[in-house]
Amino acid sequence: MIEDRCRVPQSGWGIVVLLLLGLLAGCFDDPPAPDAGGSGTSGQNGQAADPPFRVTAELVSENNRGAGLMEQYEYSKAMAVFQKLVDDNPGWLDAKVNLAIAVLQHTQKGASAVPILEEVVAADPDHAEATYCLGISLFHAARIGQAEVQFQRAVKQDPRDPHSAYFLARCLEDDHSAEAIEWYQKALQLEPYFQSAHYRCWDLLRQEKKYEESGRHMEEFSLLRNHPLSVIFDYKYTLMGAKGLAIRAGLSPGEVQPVKRPEGPLFEPPAEIASAGSVRMPAGASLTTCDINGDGYQDLFLVAADGNHVLLGSDPTRGLDGFSMDKDHPLAAVPDVVAPLWGDFDNDGLVDVYLCRRGPNQLWRQSKAGEWSDVTAKAKAAGDDAETIDGVCLDLDHDADLDLLLIHRDKPAQLLNNNRDGTFEDISAKVGVDRSGAISASTVVADFDGDRDLDILLLGPPGKADEAKPVGNVLLWNDRSWRYHAEKTPGQLAGAPFTAAVAGDVDADGQVELYAVDSASLVRWTRKPDGKWDKMLLGFGATTGAIGEGTVRIALADVTGDGRVELLVGTSGWSAWVLPADLEKFDLLDLADSGEHDPLGTWTTVVIDHARGPAVVGATVDGPPMVWAAGGGRHRFFSIALSGKKKGRYRERSNASGLGNTVLVRAGGRTFRGDSLPADSGAGQSLQPVAMGSAGAERADFLKIIWSEGVTQARLNLAAGVRHVIEEEDKMPTSCPVLFAWDGTGYRFVSDLLAVGGMGYLVEPGTYAPSDPTENFLLPAGLARPVDGRFRLKLTEPMPELTYLDRVGLVAWDVPPGWQMVLDERLATALPDPTGRPITYRIAQDPERVTNERGEDVTSRVRSVDHRAAEVGRLDGR
């Protein structure tokens, strides 16, 4: 935020704010804090308190409430919560750090937080969060030398924190520019999306006349400029780095009370779905779930020997009798379907479906609830004329729509980019998905390197290999803006003969693991900090036949309600296993299995009961579908149905299907992590709520969503056992800097400024309009009131973005009585370009009649200032 106190001119009618724009930046997302940390306590003068201070469940819950309020940007309320915690527990250092963070956000004055943080660092010099926050507070207060001391300590306390490295470089810039560049580059090694570090490197290298090197940083800066996951630093919550977030305190040793799982089975015995008794499911058939009719209950889509079947679900209290067959559904009549991919491809709030087929695929859209139509030709979405055996629909480029990654039998994979205008474009060769003609048998999409974008693992066909084409696996790292590069040191991962694989963060450490079936064995692959992959064979103990002959399927789902996902795997049946949270261990713990039955041809997990979590729906070979319902021996679940911002007044921020998001649930001293990415190796892609166990908690202190675009959102005090529908909130509706002026009683919003022209707005991919880095703005007459002879103006960024201004100034114009003034300032969409010059006049002539390009009369909408703009017509779908 820029706060400008300018002297009041002696006279004048018009006051013009002059702004010269530098550069704009993007967003940052928040990695999860540890599940439980030390209490961070101290007695008076650093001496141990007597009796020893203990962090109780009540204190953790209240601290969670404060952290949740911070996530909602309710800084004054959070400050009151943390202040009371500190007043009641003066030795609780973590609470003091949280108070300081809230004070910094509420006051926007680093000096206000410094005394609090100095107390913490004096009591515990190794308190990493306090050291870092003291550094940024001192820096904000322009005490650069003292800030440098803290950041020198911070980079030693946590050598892998990019923000500590970045701020140490900021402190070194003036007197030690070469060393500053090294620390900026260190920050970029730790966080490649750190846009602010690229900009600082560009500036320093340019000053040293290293133009080629500086140009590379400016190129990266420009590529990141519009990327939603780019990282900047700003003195706003969630933008100050991981150590600038409220500490989620854990319980003291001895305060943790183990919660026993309820008595009863995890799954009920299998039971047939009566309404589908005549359906016969062949081996390997696709079985997916989605709320097809939008009534809040999961439906089933069965690809059977005699065609497609749509089973509509209803209230789970009715049991399996709640499923009814919709024989006349339009999708039931589509021939040659292999598997569906469910998602809202046009972001209109209604689910659509992409049908992978033998032959050209089809995209079916709901234009109105229950009205389905084939839009394949118009959308150019048919893909290759092949047999498409599987696929994924996700927002692979983070532009708030769903793209299509398709797997064809005996042909290269294909990537169709959603153009956001109702059409798709094949960019397989451009991004390397076609692997220069190599065949891909399946795919896993996940953030394997923890940089918050989605990478693509393409698995080659196991066993037989066509010598004319390379086979094996390839991992394509996402480099932003539809740029990928293949793993440079693939090692064993490239040649592993996977038959099925899924990815998930089982230990909730923010690092995704890969779980794969390799030669009838289960293998966990973990990426180490040096980029190499660690392979560990997981054991089924004394159990034999967990993975038998036939097509294997593997899935991750929480089936106990303990807040951690378990592994489901099988061929002719399925079994559920506890995965070791410690990555050094390899033993699996048997939980449940499908029991005695004929060999299964297909199965998948379905959230039929939102309170009890996933059931398993499957079918024996050439048999009808049946359900292993969620049993009573589980904790209750949080069922989270997500949806990105729908079309409306402002732009979509994340895809309307809610895919690709991360959910963090904080309940007591525990943090549970889930996501809305596919975690089932079977054909097709389901769409259902994120089911997260409560581990016995009745309510969540707060729930945090990290949307696929990188923005965050929080809800407080959510009950377990029910379905929560959460739509992305648009709390920051404008991305332009906003101007406030002191009107005599408070700061009043005036206008937004410096819109899209600062560096040239995007016209089309690869093309930007000429930049217009200056803007003149005419303040409304009489609005700004002086205080002690000065005008007070504030210019700030409402979104997680950053604006660099080279110059801000005020110009006062004395206008004779009877004269008025306007400025030649507008968006330069056509010649002549705006000059910013004042235009004075005495007579204003209103238009007699105004029509738009459609011949409609809009005179009343433009003749007076009524805050109602003339209609512009149908908006472009993008």
pLDDT, residue 32, reads 35
Please give the average per-residue pLDDT across 322-342, as a whole number. 96
552: domain range? 271-642
505 part of a folded domain: yes
pLDDT band at 651 (very low <50, low <70, confident <90, very high): low
Q: Do both 633 and 745 map to the same domain?
A: no
Question: Of residues 699 and 669, which shows the higher confidence score?
Answer: 699
Total tally of structural domains belonging to the chain: 2
Q: Do both 494 and 396 map to the same domain?
A: yes
In tens, the pLDDT along 488-502 reads: 666 788 888 899 999
Instruction: Please provide residue 383's backbone torsions phi and psi, each rounded to the nearest 5 degrees.
Output: 75, -170
Q: Does the structure show a pLDDT above 60 at 4?
A: no
184 part of a folded domain: no
In tens, the pLDDT along 152-181 reads: 999 999 999 999 999 999 999 989 999 999
Could you say which of 642, 661, 696 is where a domain stops?
642
Question: Of residues 763 and 826, which shows the higher confidence score?
Answer: 826
Count the helices and strands in the chain (H runs, E runs). Answer: 14, 46
Spatial strand order in the sheet of 637-643: 690-693, 637-643, 723-727
Could you say which of 594, 626, 642 is where a domain stops?
642
pLDDT band at 7 (very low <50, low <70, confident <90, very high): very low
* Spatial CA neighbour of 566 closest among 576, 574, 575: 576
131 part of a folded domain: no
pLDDT band at 316 (very low <50, low <70, confident <90, very high): confident
Spatial strand order in the sheet of 484-486: 442-446, 455-459, 474-478, 484-486
d(CA 199, CA 207): 13
Q: Does the structure show a pLDDT above 80 at 874?
A: no
Q: Does the structure show a pLDDT above 70 at 686?
A: yes
**Domain CATH code at residue 448:** 2.130.10.10
Q: Do both 610 and 489 map to the same domain?
A: yes
pLDDT band at 865 (very low <50, low <70, confident <90, very high): confident
* Spatial CA neighbour of 811 closest among 828, 840, 791, 787: 791
Please give the average per-residue pLDDT across 239-245, as a whole number. 92
In tens, the pLDDT along 91-137 reads: 999 999 999 999 999 988 889 999 999 999 999 999 999 999 999 99
Q: Which amino acid is at 735?
A: S
Kindly state the helix (H) or strand (E) to which residue 120 belongs, with its residue range: helix 110-123
Q: Do both 637 and 743 map to the same domain?
A: no
537 part of a folded domain: yes
309 part of a folded domain: yes
**Domain CATH code at residue 772:** 2.60.120
d(CA 245, CA 105): 11
Locate tokens 């290269």: which residue?
A: 412
Please give the average per-residue pLDDT across 679-689, as a whole number. 96
359 part of a folded domain: yes
Q: Which amino acid is at 669?
A: G
Could you say which of 612, 642, 672 is where a domain stops?
642
193 part of a folded domain: no
pLDDT band at 19 (very low <50, low <70, confident <90, very high): low
% of the chain at pLDDT higher than 70: 87
Of the listed ranges 16-20, 366-370, 434-438, 474-478, the one predicted with least confidence: 16-20
pLDDT, residue 736, reads 79
Q: Does the structure show a pLDDT above 90 at 232?
A: no
> Read out DSSP for 158-212?
-TT-HHHHHHHHHHHTTT-HHHHHHHHHHHHHH-TTBHHHHHHHHHHHHHTT-HH
Question: Of residues 30 and 400, which shows the higher confidence score?
Answer: 400
571 part of a folded domain: yes
pLDDT, residue 809, reads 87
